[in-house]
Amino acid sequence: MIKLESATVIQEASSLLKQGDVVAFPTETVYGLGADAHQESAICKIFSIKNRPSFNPLIVHVLDINQAETIGMIPKSAYPLLEHYWPGPLTIVVPKNPKASLAPSITAGLDTVALRVPAHPTFRRLLTIHQAPIAAPSANASNKLSCTTASHVLASLKSRAPLIIKSTTPCAHGLESTIIDFSTKQPTLLRHGALPLEIIENLLGPVVLGNHKKTIKAPGQLNKHYAPDLPLRLNASSPRAKEAYLNFGPPKAEETLNLSPNGDLEEAACNLFVMLHRLDIPEHYSGIAVAPIPLRGLGKAINDRLNRASYKENTPS
Ligand code: TXA
Ligand code: MG
């Protein structure tokens, strides 16, 4: 059920989490489907509601660096980044703190843990009242489009989430967090996301690009991910018959929607999932054609999501 945020609703959400249930809430990236990170049976509910493979670990969300240190062993080299971009759309992977009492399924058998300090005020109010870390993947059925509105979450998860919190503060970035692995010798990018790689490299120096195909380190980086029901055709300069056309840049007569008429990549990232949801109507269209998106800044994360969304199972990888 969708409920507009209020003090009572946040209290209700915390009670649900305490009793081992799950709750969906907005973050500054996309909606999350959260459970109390100490309760194994609650974490298992997340995997079953999303139909998520158990080998795909979850991100643990906390209020600040101090709380993060109780869960993960954060290396010194990560601090300049955390001091600048936490709270924010940045996730780090670090060795687990042996003293942390996390539900085992969160880390899917790995000895590392993914940590994020979110900035969205609704989520922060929930974390504050709840007083315990909250593990949360994106609130969408596994391999489907991520959600940036409460009604998209309802459409994706149906009644399987007992409470979906709606907020007057939007999911401003509209794309998942960037994931950097600090458990490796050199920081390694595991997922392009809302914090552009260039910004991270300005602080840390060169970051190694993770090999998504070989590594089980970010199983969420499966080739097919974030997929709409309709087929996607990328780098399309115009639509074919019956296709919807998702344009980027100067408007064209044949466009159905435009990610950013001014060619602003931040605006395009924010619109990406919302517009894909709006166009994903098999009764109206035969497919979605997407205009080319430049491969710089946030364009890398946008292209990453589009490539995975258009991946065909039988394409050799
Ligand atoms: O913006 C976000 O990151 C959103 C919001 C809700 O915080 N969350 C999100 O979660 O996108 P999810 O589960 O959809 O993606 C998390 C990614 C997955 O690809 C998972 O494999 C990876 O993080 N991950 C989690 N723990 C990991 C670990 N210990 N090592 C490597 N990758 C990990
Ligand atoms: Mg996800």
Three-state SS at 200: helix
Predicted pLDDT at 214: 45
Predicted pLDDT at 215: 45
How does pLDDT run across 97-110, given as a tens digit for each residue? 999 999 999 999 89
**Other CB atoms within 10 Å distance of the CB of residue 169:** 13
How does pLDDT run across 266-315, given as a tens digit for each residue? 999 999 999 999 999 999 999 999 999 999 999 999 999 999 888 765 44
Ligand 1 site-directed mutation target among 46, 60, 122, 176, most atoms within 8 Å of CB: 176
Predicted pLDDT at 134: 98
**DSSP designation for 105:** G
Asked whether the beta carbons of 256 and 245 are under 8 A apart, the reply is yes
Token reading at 27: 């973050």
How does pLDDT run across 246-262, given as a tens digit for each residue? 999 999 999 999 999 99
Q: Band of the pLDDT at 217, cuts 50, 70, 90?
A: low
- Taking the C-alpha atoms of residue 133 and residue 107, their distance in angstroms, rounded to an integer, is 14
How does pLDDT run across 174-208, given as a tens digit for each residue? 999 999 999 999 999 999 999 999 999 999 999 99
Q: Are strands 178-181 and 188-191 parallel, antiparallel or unpaired?
A: antiparallel
**DSSP designation for 141:** S
Write the Ramachandran bin of 136: left for phi over 0, alpha for psi from -120 to 50, otherwise beta: beta
**Position 163, amino acid:** L
Query: In angstroms, what is the span from residue 221 Cα to ligand 2's centroid?
Result: 9
Helices (H), the chain: 7-18, 40-50, 65-69, 79-85, 121-130, 150-157, 197-204, 265-279, 299-309
Predicted pLDDT at 109: 87
Predicted pLDDT at 136: 98
Q: What is the mean pLDDT of the chain?
A: 93
Predicted pLDDT at 226: 80
Give every CB contact of residue 105 below 8 A, 6+ residues apart in sequence: 40, 43, 44, 47, 54, 58
Q: Whose structure tokens read 């292209």? A: 303
- Taking the C-alpha atoms of residue 312 and residue 317, their distance in angstroms, rounded to an integer, is 10
Q: Band of the pLDDT at 216, cuts 50, 70, 90?
A: very low
Query: In angstroms, what is the span from residue 261 Cα to ligand 1's centroid?
Result: 31
- Taking the C-alpha atoms of residue 244 and residue 93, their distance in angstroms, rounded to an integer, is 38
How does pLDDT run across 124-179, given as a tens digit for each residue? 999 999 999 999 999 999 989 999 999 999 999 999 999 999 999 999 999 999 99
Q: Angle CA(313)–CA(294)–CA(144) in degrees, nearest 5?
A: 35
Residue from 305, 287, 285, 286 nearest 295 by CA: 305
E strands in 96-221: 112-116, 134-135, 164-166, 178-181, 188-191, 208-209
Predicted pLDDT at 11: 98
Q: Which residue's alpha carbon is nearest to atom 33 within ligand 1? A: 218
Query: In angstroms, what is the span from residue 286 Cα to ligand 1's centroid?
Result: 31
For the segment 71-98, the average pLDDT, to the nearest whole number, is: 97
Ligand 1 within 6 A of CB of 188: no
Predicted pLDDT at 314: 45
Ligand 1 within 6 A of CB of 220: yes
- Taking the C-alpha atoms of residue 7 and residue 129, their distance in angstroms, rounded to an integer, is 10
Q: What is the pTM of this model?
A: 0.91
Residue from 96, 67, 100, 64 nearest 82 by CA: 64
Q: Which residue's alpha carbon is nearest to atom 30 within ligand 1? A: 217
Report whether pLDDT(225) > 80.
no
